[in-house]
A and B are shown apart, each in its own frame.
Chain A
Amino acid sequence: MSNISPNTIPNTGKFSWIKYLKDRPLWVDLALIAMAVACYFLFPYSLAFVTRVLIVMIFVLSLDLVLGYAGVATLGHAALFGTGAYAAGLFALHATASPILGLLVGACAASVVAFVSGLLLMRAHGLTVLMLSIAFAEVLQEISNQAGSITGGADGLAGFIMNPILGIFEFDFIGQTGFWYVLAVLIAVFIFLKMVVASPFGLAARGIHQSVVRMRAIGTGVYWKLVAIYTLSGAIAGIAGALSAQITELVSPEVFATSFSAEVVIMLILGGMGRLYGAIIGTALFMVVHHTAASVDPFNWLFVIGGLVLVVVFFVPAGLLALPAEIKRRMGRPT
């Protein structure tokens, strides 16, 4: 669990944003953005799917903060995604259908839920955290199922139509505006998280992951730090949920599903946790494999997903991004 690569930890005492950004080549980021844009032109008829992948990327990034950086394993992250989705949907239905305000509302609602559940979750360890986080998501799912008069129950929350973004860009039927909107939010979230993980706050999260005892010894309030990380992660998960509500203009209780929480964990591990790029790569790969396998053979695609998960856990436990280093290690040390 502690094999986090130290490649982005600055070793100077004083932290400088300018130096940080200067030290890092931007070509990887530009290439990723170029690939996203290329998808827009290559798959004009699958824009809904491409947009969905981008939304899930934001969600997996939020999970990376908790799981990859702070090392807290949860299987109930969909609780935060779903809260953001319902909050944004209800806000659009009853207050105003402004997309940007909706994102803020989704982020706030999910971070409140994250804070409250975090107070309980961050006290526990291991299996108990897994179970508690699942329990939270299940309770929220059941509430959204039962409170039919507010949430639309099992049929889902529908009937809201989003206003144009910033009053200018109208949502269209094939989802072109939606794509650019989600891509812009993803880039903003990514830049924000890059700064967060390089900040003292992000370093503290890694420190807790590597050794709780030592972090306590140097005077960090571990519990409150974890709650803060979880709350921040909740805000970002809430943004992802809000985006999903706004793009599909429908929210169903399925947003809280435990299988969704498990899938995003798989995506993160697949790409490599504790790395922001890992979240991006893992999500893209998993969702494309899932999508292709499910459309090629709708009955037996679980074989592919199950096999993929086992191969990753057994052979590249640190994720695909660690693959070059892993190959080097195996080649370098003949057995």
Chain B
Amino acid sequence: MHTLLSIAIDGIAYGMILFMISVGLTVTMGLMRVINLAHGGFAMLGGAFTHYLMKSGMEFFSAAILGVIIVALIALPLERGLYRHIYKFSELQQVLATIGITFLMIASVNLWLGSSLLVITLPESMTGTVDLGFRSLPMHRLIVIGAGVITVLGLYLLIEKSRFGIYLRSAVDNRETAAALGIDTSKIYMLTFALGAALAAIGGILGAELLPIEAYYPLRHMVLFMIVVAVGGMGSITGSLLAAVGLGIVDTAARYLVPDFGTIVFYMVIMFILAIRPNGLLGKT
């Protein structure tokens, strides 16, 4: 019982981190049909800026918020200048181009902050444990889960209820028709891209305890983020949420219960899911 609860809490928290980082990837893939392997780089950049700002004396919350804003501001011109051309590429060229961008991101952070671990010290209010009466839980996991839930609700409201969401959905369904109806699709693309990058940055900062920030972060965890999208189904936010939380729990459970075979179990589950549902859990066929 004790282990089960630990697995559930850790697994869901891990899943929420995966979701926050990958959701931008899901949307850009569904919208722009671009396989962006560099997406994890935004999570890393978020963490790197936060680390740097905190080292310069800022406290955690303002450093994190500023870090996320900086990442969004970097994403905007990147989309305009670089990614715009990549949308037209074939799948394989996209993979290569975005690997190239990943390399450049890694090299830049490596040059700027070195290849050591970029520690983000959480404030006291986020560490420690919370007593629930029958047992206590780590505060950090609860905050992560809370942030994940807020992200899900926020995205739901943004996409289902706002005008921007209507534009976004119509552009996903059919870009030409949306453009013909007077929707500025290229602006939608740019904003969506920056939003995805910002969410990844939040995920990177909050998840630094589970996925430590360092220069090679985007390459090390690239597969993980892509798998969430592939399993969830391209373009499906609900699918990503299901996949991220499901895989988070599977991974955590495998590490708790069969520590030696954790990775094997994790990838076996993925192969099984993709074998029966090649387009992902909620992907369109």
Chain A residues proximal to chain B, CB less than 8 Å: 1, 67, 73, 75, 120, 123-128, 130-132, 134-136, 138-139, 142-143, 146, 258-259, 262, 265-266, 269, 299-303, 305-310, 312-314, 317
B95: A residues at CB distance < 8 A: 73, 75, 130, 265
B104: A residues at CB distance < 8 A: 302-303, 306-307, 310
A313 lies within 8 A of B230 (CB): no
Chain A CB within 8 A of B155 CB: no
A139: B residues at CB distance < 8 A: 263-264, 267-268, 271
Beyond A1-B91, A67-B92, A134-B227, 4 additional contacts (C-beta under 8 Å) are A130-B226, A146-B261, A265-B92, A300-B110
B271: A residues at CB distance < 8 A: 120, 132, 135-136, 139
**Distance between Cα atoms of A143 and B262 in the complex (Å):** 11
Stretch at the interface among B6-14, B160-168, B204-212, B272-280: B272-280
A138: B residues at CB distance < 8 A: 223, 263, 267
A303 lies within 8 A of B264 (CB): no
B234 to chain A, nearest CB (A): 7
**Which of A128, A259, A266, A313 contacts B278 (CB under 8 A)?**
A128
A314: B residues at CB distance < 8 A: 85, 97
**Distance between Cα atoms of A80 and B47 in the complex (Å):** 36
B230 lies within 8 A of A127 (CB): yes
B274 lies within 8 A of A128 (CB): yes
Residue of A nearest to B90 (CB): A1
B100 lies within 8 A of A307 (CB): yes
Chain A CB within 8 A of B113 CB: no
**Distance between Cα atoms of A300 and B114 in the complex (Å):** 10
**Distance between Cα atoms of A291 and B165 in the complex (Å):** 48
Chain A CB within 8 A of B17 CB: no
Chain A CB within 8 A of B65 CB: no
- Contacts A73-B91, A146-B260, A146-B261; A269 near B106 (Cβ below 8 A): no
Per DSSP, are chain A's interface residues mostly helix, strand or loop, or mixed? helix
B223 lies within 8 A of A125 (CB): no
**Distance between Cα atoms of A146 and B263 in the complex (Å):** 10
A300: B residues at CB distance < 8 A: 107, 110-111
B256: A residues at CB distance < 8 A: none
- Contacts A269-B92, A302-B110, A317-B93; A135 near B226 (Cβ below 8 A): no
- Contacts A266-B99, A313-B100; A142 near B263 (Cβ below 8 A): yes
**Distance between Cα atoms of A309 and B94 in the complex (Å):** 11
**Which of B106, B234, B260, B263 contacts A127 (CB under 8 A)?**
B234
- Contacts A73-B91, A310-B100; A131 near B106 (Cβ below 8 A): no
B261: A residues at CB distance < 8 A: 142, 146
**Distance between Cα atoms of A262 and B98 in the complex (Å):** 12
- Contacts A131-B230, A309-B100, A314-B85; A124 near B268 (Cβ below 8 A): no
B93 lies within 8 A of A313 (CB): yes
A126 lies within 8 A of B91 (CB): yes
A310: B residues at CB distance < 8 A: 97, 100-101, 104
Most chain-B Cβ atoms within 10 A of its Cβ — which of A142, A143, A269?
A: A142
**Distance between Cα atoms of A131 and B272 in the complex (Å):** 12
B55 to chain A, nearest CB (A): 20
B45 to chain A, nearest CB (A): 15
A306: B residues at CB distance < 8 A: 100-104, 106-107
Chain A CB within 8 A of B35 CB: yes
B111 lies within 8 A of A134 (CB): no
B219: A residues at CB distance < 8 A: 259
**Distance between Cα atoms of A307 and B97 in the complex (Å):** 10
Chain A CB within 8 A of B150 CB: no
A127 lies within 8 A of B107 (CB): no
B100: A residues at CB distance < 8 A: 305-310, 313
Chain A CB within 8 A of B201 CB: no
B270 lies within 8 A of A135 (CB): yes
B107 lies within 8 A of A303 (CB): yes
A118 to chain B, nearest CB (A): 13
Chain A CB within 8 A of B117 CB: no
Residue of A nearest to B261 (CB): A146
B65-121 contacts to A, CB under 8 A, are: 85, 89-93, 95-97, 99-104, 106-108, 110-111, 115
